[in-house]
Amino acid sequence: MNDTCHFETCSFAKSLFDRAEECFNFKETWWKPKEGSPICIRDCVPTRTMIMVQEMYNQMIGLQQSVEQSRNQVRNVSARFDIILDHAEKRLLDEGR
CA pair distance 45, 50, nearest whole angstrom:
9
Residue ranges of domains in the chain: 7-96
Share of the chain above pLDDT 70, in %: 99
In the predicted structure, residue 33 carries a pLDDT above the cut 90:
no
Lowest mean pLDDT among 13-17, 37-41, 91-95: 91-95
Stretch (H or E) spanning 5: none
Phi, then psi, of 79 in degrees rounded to 5 = -65, -40
What is the pLDDT at residue 97? 63
pLDDT of 57-78, one tens digit each? 999 999 999 999 999 999 999 9
